[in-house]
Amino acid sequence: MKNKDIVARCYLKKNGDIWVGICIDFCLATQGESMEEAKKKLEEQIFFYVEEALEDKTYGNQLLNRKAPLSSFLAYYFIRIINAIKLTHFVCKNTATAFSEAMPLRLA
């Protein structure tokens, strides 16, 4: 077996009083009362989702290739651009962040 990393692209945004976490690569979403809580829940959900998909011999490939809608991709890249050009303080201060999670996997 060899090791391989899967990189999951995600973002967090504040929606009223709650934080919403979105993974655009697997079309997963979570929510939490804080940014940290939403991110932790999303990371756990991604881990268990990928683990389950890798064990599913019938539909695993489809599950690993399930993408979010275009609007989620646009939101992710908009947040990345805003963060990259340091406009965060003017546009989305403490209301959104984008990140990529590398998940080590053992593949046969």
Convert 14-66 into a string of H (helix), E (strand) and C (coil): EECCEEEEEECCCCEEEEECCHHHHHHHHHHHHHHHHHHHHHCCCCHHHHHCC
- pLDDT tens figures, 16-48: 999 999 999 999 999 999 999 999 999 999 989
Mean of the pLDDT values across residues 69-95? 77
- pLDDT tens figures, 83-104: 777 655 555 556 777 777 666 5
What's residue 54's pLDDT?
87
- CATH fold of 2-103: Double Stranded RNA Binding Domain (3.30.160)
What's residue 94's pLDDT?
64
